[in-house]
């Protein structure tokens, strides 16, 4: 069966009780929802489900790890990814740099995997749950990325289980198929994958030691946009949005009701299905192999975007935000100080082979505003609607995370601090250029622990967890210093606070 043939299964409507409200809601999905409450082994490394036993490992003392069903000792396949030159350069430079082996992981249509890191059974169970949604511009991304490993968070913090999962991107997650337009069916399969994974976690996480009534979803960039958009649809405990919101994704907020069929037809023509958008073409596309379809997407360099379908996204997203028509769950949202640095650096390097001032700073500032302003809007709307909101800006700069001295706190640079994975990349560019190792600093390690403590406190109690450690609720009043600045000169190993629009 091809991956596009599997799209039909995502349209099946099933009923699941939502996590926070005692009513039945329609959910579209295709992951298993059943499980057994009986552990299959005394050490908790075998968990029984109706699909069969899931066998995990204990990579370190006090942490259980389940990476892919059913012999869960290694990551499952990733969903097909689409990279352009800039994407690859980004991955090879960010966080000290990924190797090609870490970038080009095994891919297949059998990619909708869930990974779980849980405390060992000699530690407290029924923990809060953090569910991670990765970014990648909805074109690439995988849970099998070293910086997204949940091991350290669970090792270093009690009362927490961490879950990650894969979702489809590019044509596989956002096909932009004209044949689906106006049918009343969902067209953004990436959204359905996210929903299916979260609902699977709600149905099954108690068998792994998690509390289904304390689920917080958190994501970065496109993952944060998906998390934000999810609050327009479903129920859960809380949400953490890192450098992204639904208002920041123009395809979600701009209310595009018509499909741009150029990308779909370009790929269809490349695989021999023609450019006539009829049922024959659609049937042909459904029977193209995953490998051939993925190659055609890459060779034609087409982009596939979110479609407003009235099921997973809506024409009135902006109006819903301004009028408070979203889940009133607590939100922790923020950005990094210089989001655009990494992208402008890559663009200049690919174009002219060097980082050029003053253009670099100017262009980076423009890009950064395109991320920070929608986040400011989103948090203001949520606060005005009565949601509990916490806001931050990440400002820390560490040599082992920065491939060039010009880079400051750039897009994604906070992720290794959240996960405690600041030392898992290949040698940083600075090391390879100078031959002198650039290790993690004591300040970096301390800030990572502080950020983990904050993220975990929020997950444990989204309403009161952060205030209990001295982080106040966000207040839009200019006189109230409630925006946390993480890793700045006032407190390099923690946070200080500044006012809206000021210090």
**Bridge partner residues of 220 (DSSP):** 242
Taking alpha carbons only, the member of 305, 381, 329, 356 closest to residue 137 is 305
- 93 and 403 Cβ atoms separated by less than 8 Å: yes
What is the end-to-end Cα distance of the chain in Å, rounded?
57
Question: Which runs of consecutive H residues, i.e. helices, occur in 231-307?
Answer: 250-253, 262-270, 279-286, 290-300
- 216 and 49 Cβ atoms separated by less than 8 Å: no
- Catalytic annotation present for 221: yes
What is the Cα–Cα distance from 299 to 283, expressed in whole angstroms? 22
What is the Cα–Cα distance from 188 to 319, expressed in whole angstroms? 21
Q: In this structure, how many other beta carbons lie within 10 angstroms of the beta carbon of residue 272?
A: 11
Length of the chain: 503
Q: Which residues contact 250 (CB under 8 A, 6 or more apart)?
A: none
What is the Cα–Cα distance from 360 to 221, expressed in whole angstroms? 21
Among 78, 164, 221, 243, the active-site one is: 221
What is the Cα–Cα distance from 68 to 434, expressed in whole angstroms? 39
What is the Cα–Cα distance from 279 to 178, expressed in whole angstroms? 10
Number of H helices, E strands in the chain: 16, 15
> If 0-12 CB within 10 Å is exposed, 13-18 middle and 19+ buried, where does residue 193 land?
buried
Sheet with 63-66, strands from edge to edge, namely 57-60, 63-66, 114-119, 160-165, 127-133, 210-220, 238-242, 331-336, 389-394, 483-488, 491-498
Taking alpha carbons only, the member of 303, 232, 299 closest to residue 262 is 303
What is the Cα–Cα distance from 169 to 190, expressed in whole angstroms? 6
Q: Which residues contact 415 (CB under 8 A, 6 or more apart)?
A: 95, 147, 148, 220, 242, 421
Cα torsion angle, 174, 87, 241, 421, sign:
positive
What is the Cα–Cα distance from 305 to 324, expressed in whole angstroms? 26
Per-residue buried b or exposed e for 279-313, using 16+ beta carbons within 10 Å of the residue's own CB = eebbebbbebebeebbebbbebebbbbbbbbebbb
Residue 62: CA count within 13 A, CB half-sphere: 11
- 14 and 27 Cβ atoms separated by less than 8 Å: yes
Q: Which residues are tagged catalytic?
A: 221
């Amino acid at each position: 069966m091809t991956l596009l043939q599997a799209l039909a299964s995502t349209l099946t409507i099933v009923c699941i009780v939502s996590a926070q409200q005692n009513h039945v809601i329609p959910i579209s999905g295709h992951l298993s929802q059943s499980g057994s409450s009986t552990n299959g082994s005394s050490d908790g490394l075998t968990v029984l489900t109706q699909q069969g036993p899931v066998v995990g490992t204990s990579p370190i003392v006090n942490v259980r790890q389940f990476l892919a069903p059913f012999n869960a000792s290694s990551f499952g396949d990733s969903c097909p990814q689409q990279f352009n030159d800039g994407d690859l350069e980004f991955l090879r430079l960010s966080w000290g740099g990924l190797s090609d082996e870490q970038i080009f992981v095994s891919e297949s249509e059998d990619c909708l995997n869930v990974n779980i890191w849980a405390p060992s059974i000699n530690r407290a169970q029924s923990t809060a749950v953090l569910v991670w949604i990765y970014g990648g511009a909805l074109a690439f991304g995988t849970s099998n990325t070293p910086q997204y490993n949940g091991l350290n968070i669970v090792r270093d913090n009690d009362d927490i289980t961490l879950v990650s999962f894969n979702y489809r991107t590019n044509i596989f997650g956002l096909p932009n198929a004209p044949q689906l337009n106006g049918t009343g069916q969902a067209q953004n399969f990436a959204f359905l994958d996210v929903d299916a994974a979260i609902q699977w976690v709600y149905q099954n996480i108690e068998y792994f030691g998690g509390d289904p009534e304390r689920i917080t979803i958190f994501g970065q960039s496109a993952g944060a946009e998906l998390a934000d958009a999810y609050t327009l649809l479903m129920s859960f405990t809380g949400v953490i949005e890192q450098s992204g919101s639904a208002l920041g994704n123009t395809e979600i907020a701009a209310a595009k009701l018509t499909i741009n069929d150029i990308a779909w037809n370009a790929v269809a023509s490349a695989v021999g299905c023609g450019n006539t958008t009829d049922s024959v073409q659609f049937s042909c596309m459904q029977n193209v192999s995953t490998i051939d379809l993925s190659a055609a997407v890459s060779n034609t360099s087409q982009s596939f975007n979110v479609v407003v379908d009235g099921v997973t996204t809506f024409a009135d997203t902006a109006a819903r935000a301004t009028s408070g028509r979203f889940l009133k769950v607590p939100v922790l949202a923020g950005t990094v100080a210089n989001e655009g640095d990494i992208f402008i650096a890559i663009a200049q390097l690919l174009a002219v082979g060097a980082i050029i001032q003053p253009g670099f700073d100017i262009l980076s500032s423009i890009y950064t505003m395109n991320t920070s302003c929608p986040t400011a809007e989103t948090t203001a709307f949520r606060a005005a609607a009565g949601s509990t909101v916490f806001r931050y800006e990440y400002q820390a700069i560490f040599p082992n995370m920065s491939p060039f001295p010009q880079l400051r706190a750039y897009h994604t640079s906070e992720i290794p601090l959240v996960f405690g994975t600041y030392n898992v990349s290949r040698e940083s560019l600075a090391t390879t250029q100078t031959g002198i190792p650039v290790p993690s600093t004591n300040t970096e390690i301390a800030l990572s622990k502080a950020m983990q403590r904050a993220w975990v406190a929020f997950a444990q109690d989204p309403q009161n967890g952060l205030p209990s450690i001295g982080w106040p609720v966000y207040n839009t009043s200019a006189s109230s210093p409630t925006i946390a600045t993480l890793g700045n000169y006032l407190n390099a190993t923690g946070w200080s606070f500044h006012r809206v629009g000021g210090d």
